[in-house]
Amino acid sequence: MDNEDSRCLASLLNRTYLDEETSILTYINLLVGNYDKETGIFRDDQGREYPSIDSEDASYGQNPYIAGNIINIDEAYEKYTDSKSADIQELLDNYDIEESKFFYLTSVNEEGRYVILKLNHDEIVKSYNEKKNSVDVDAEAKEIDFNNQIDEQEILNSIKNNEYTKEELIELKRNLTSLKKRIRKIIDISEKKIKEDNSVITNKDNNQESKFYYSDGIIKPLAVLNEIKKKVIAQDEAASKLVIEYAKRNLDQFNKDNINMKGILLVGNTGVGKTLLAEELARLLDRPFLSIDTNQITTQGYVGESLEQVLWKLYVKCNKDKDKAEHAIVFFDEIDKKGSKNKDDVGGQGVLNMLLKFLDGTKYNATPSQSGLAERVEIDTSKMIVIAGGAFTDVYDREFEHGIGFGNDVKKPYKPSLEDFVDKGMMTREFMGRFPSIIRLRDLNKEDMIQIMDKSSVSPIKLEKERYKAVGVKLNINDDVKDYAATKAVKSKAGARALTGIISEITNKSFGDALNNRGKYKDITITKETIEDPSNYQYTLKENQKIKQKKAYH
């Protein structure tokens, strides 16, 4: 990539998030360097690396600086000057002047695909200020589908070195909803063009077949399951059952008699993947997802959140799209904590009884607060798919049951009855009657933990490697470290979520070193010795790649 033919120009863009899915990229300066199409990385002449605007790292990462409008220098001469014999400074000046006219709006369209709009700054602000009904400007748009979940981002407050003032950005954010509506026509036109050229059809609502849906709206269970298994490790049986149960309920919505199979109960100890499994199902099938900590829910009139307030959060999460909110997957977590024998327990049985109407399908006046002056919207829960999760350790007090008669020494998985959930789990009979489908997730063993670290798309090791990569260092983690982390996670009884903290603690010192000495290290290797002393790790220097690895002591 260091030959003259690969020399390129790029615009250095600063990203400022306006909400969890939408950001503005503003032009700072031009870059000269080399572009690697395979990695999507632009490296300037000072050795600094930036993800290209349409790369996966740019769309899902948190890098505030992005390389945009990457163009080969020969092509740049043709586009920005009259001839290739023009002075290089003329080329750079013309490129700089042209690029400073534009900013980019990145967001997610209604299908969950990444959309990039390149807009003329002066035209969009002029149209914005004149409060036109539509934006009549030329815009380039492209749609990116990385088949990945778009991570939530914190709003970035730093807006140094760009053409926007803080006041202008605050104004843009305040009127973001209005701005989105005005550029909706541009997005629609662009998406039509993209779909015409795209052989992979993704819109199930127009009787077209997609990756996870047949043309009639029925889901493809195997396709969904195979995708879930990339993220949720060691729960194949539970995942398969959940997908089928979802498919049944999805079909019920086409039934004119409106059969309602009620809820699905996911049972398993903490950290086995209950929430992740439900969340991934919703993401793949393009349904809004809301996870609710049931411990925070109380009956009306008591301290805590009401269902009306929870549904308002869902409504806002769906950009106040009422129909979208009413087709959500709602996950009530820690439901076993509501078990109680006391009928007067408003935080226990009181909440379980309150949820009966939600499960049966009813209409709520969703509101941000209980104030009579608060905004309200009617939300119907009859089309929602409700999943609840809990450990229910007392219910599953034994792992197996024995058969009767010949072969009675054969062990079978223990399947508790409704009475067990009532007597041992202290749940109400009426509530459990609304959960005809009970799916148990198995406990994770040491081998499962290693599989999570090696194969899951949300592996804590993968996350660490991406962090090191962002500062220009390749991270290696030895098998001894994985073995240690897996063993410690199992002993913690916190499940897979314990892995993140364990790996982060081991890599803390080396990552701090990499941050403080950017450009110094080619790679860092975490070894068995690092477990005892996080300052004791191996590295290779970037300046002299022939140097042997040695241990670093700080």
CA diameter of the chain: 94
Q: Please give the Cα distance from 274 to 331 (Å, whole number).
A: 10
Strand 49-51 and strand 65-72: the pairing is unpaired
Question: Would you put residue 147 in left (φ > 0), alpha (ψ -120 to 50) or beta?
Answer: left
Task: Give residue 38's pLDDT.
Answer: 84
Query: All domains of the chain, ordered by start, with CATH?
Result: 4-196 (no CATH), 221-440 (3.40.50.300), 446-552 (1.10.8.60)
pTM, two decimals, is: 0.60
Backbone φ/ψ region at 236: left (φ over 0), alpha (ψ -120 to 50), beta: alpha
How far is the C-alpha of 292 from the C-alpha of 269, rounded, in Å? 17
Strand order in the sheet with 264-267: 289-293, 329-333, 385-390, 264-267, 437-440
Enumerate the H helices of 274-330 as residue ranges: 274-284, 307-317, 322-325
The residue among 250, 299, 325 whose CA lies nearest residue 264 is: 250
Scan for tokens 């369209």, then name that residue. Answer: 109
Would you tell me the crossing angle of helices 460-470 and 497-516 to the nearest 10 degrees?
Answer: 10
Query: Distance from CA of residue 319 to its chain's centroid?
Result: 17
Token pair, residue 198, equals: 């795209």
Token couple for 488? 């410690």
pLDDT of residue 48: 85
Q: Contact, 220 vs 204, CB < 8 A?
A: no
Model pLDDT, residue 10: 92
Predicted pLDDT of residue 49: 87
3-state secondary structure of 400: strand
- State which amino acid sits at residue 474: K
User: Facing residues of 521 across strands?
Assistant: 541
For every residue of 297-311, DSSP letters joined together read B--TTSSSB-HHHHH
* DSSP E strands, 37-158: 41-44, 49-51, 65-72, 102-108, 114-120, 139-144
* CB-count burial class (<10 Å; 0-12, 13-18, 19+) for 32: middle
The pLDDT value given to residue 243: 94
Would you call 404 exposed, middle or buried from its count of C-beta atoms within 10 A (0-12, 13-18, 19+)?
exposed
Of the candidates 328, 306, 304, the one whose C-alpha atom is nearest the C-alpha of residue 316 is: 328
CA distance 428 to 40: 55
Rg (CA), the chain: 27
Which of helix, strand or coil describes residue 386?
Answer: strand
Residues of the chain with pLDDT under 50: 1-5, 128, 131-141, 143-164, 172-207, 301, 303, 404-406, 545-550, 552-554
Torsional sign, CA 79, 82, 85, 90: negative
**How far, CA to CA in Å, does 87 sit from each of 3, 44, 90, 218, 224?**
20, 20, 5, 61, 56
3-state DSSP assignment of residue 145: coil
Instruction: Give Cβ neighbours of residue 217 (< 8 Å, ≥ 6 apart).
Output: 204, 250, 254
pLDDT for 138 = 43
What is the predicted pLDDT for the residue at 257? 58
What's the pLDDT score for residue 115? 73
Question: What 8-state DSSP symbol labels residue 377?
Answer: E
Name the residue among 434, 462, 406, 239 with its Cα closest to residue 332: 434
